Chains A and B, each alone.
Chain A
Amino acid sequence: DGGITQSPKYLFRKEGQNVTLSCEQNLNHDAMYWYRQDPGQGLRLIYYSQIVNDFQKGDIAEGYSVSREKKESFPLTVTSAQKNPTAFYLCASSHGQAGEQFFGPGTRLTVL
C-alpha cells in the first residue's frame, strides 16, 4: 500500500541535543512538507521541498534543518537552536502545486 511513514511515533531527547525525525513516502510525490502542531495553534509550515536537492523555508524554519537527497525521503533535524521543540511533527506529500496533501501519522517529540 502506498503511503507516508514517520518514525519513531514517540521521541524523547534531552535539552541541547539535536534529533532527526524520519519521513518516507512511496507515493511517487514530488513535493514534501514538514509541519509543527501545537495545541490551539493549528499546523504551521516548517520546511517544504518541491523537488529533489531543493527545499525552502516555511513560516517557522528557525532551529530546524532538512535535506532532500532522495525523492522518497525528507528528514527533519530539530537542532539545539530551537527554543521550544516539544511538539507534534507531521510530514506530508503532494503531487505538486495546489494538490491536496497526504499526511503521515506524526512524531511526538518531547524534550526533557
Chain B
Amino acid sequence: GNSVTQMEGPVTLSEEAFLTINCTYTATGYPSLFWYVQYPGEGLQLLLKATKADDKGSNKGFEATYRKETTSFHLEKGSVQVSDSAVYFCALSDHRGGADGLTFGKGTHLIIQP
C-alpha cells in the first residue's frame, strides 16, 4: 500500500535559519505530492503541490521538488520566521479510482524561536 514517511519532530530552529523537512513516499504509479500546514487548533491548508516528476512546487518562500528517482519531496525554506511555526504534513494521492483520500505522513512540528 501507499505510505509517506517524514522526519519526526519537533524541529526547533532560530529565526532566519534554513529549513529542510524530509519526506519520502511509497506508491504505485505516479502520485501527486502535497505539503499541507496546520496552525494550532485549525484545519489543514495546502502549502504547495507537484503532480509529476521534476516539478517544483512553491509558495510563501517554501519549495519542494518531486524526485521520482529518490521517491522524495523534501520541503525547504531559505529563511524561516516565527510565524512559520506549525505542523507540516507531507501527503500523496495515487489517483486510484477507488479510495481517493490522501495518504498522510505523521506530521512534523516546527518551532521557530526569535
Identify the A interface with B (CB < 8 A): 4, 6, 31, 33, 35, 40-43, 45, 48, 50, 56, 58-59, 90, 92, 94, 96-106
Contact = CB atoms under 8 A, between A and B. Distances in A.
A97 B107 CA distance: 23
From A42, A96, A97, residue with most partner B Cβ within 10 Å: A42
B97 A97 contact: yes
Interface residues of B, number: 25
The interface residues of chain B, by DSSP majority, are classed as loop
B100 A43 contact: no
From A6, A35, A96, residue with most partner B Cβ within 10 Å: A35
The interface residues of chain A, by DSSP majority, are classed as strand
28 contacts: A33-B100, A33-B101, A35-B101, A40-B106, A42-B104, A42-B106, A42-B107, A43-B89, A43-B102, A43-B104, A45-B99, A45-B101, A45-B102, A48-B100, A48-B101, A56-B98, A58-B101, A59-B101, A90-B44, A98-B93, A98-B95, A100-B49, A100-B93, A103-B45, A104-B43, A105-B42, A105-B43, A106-B43
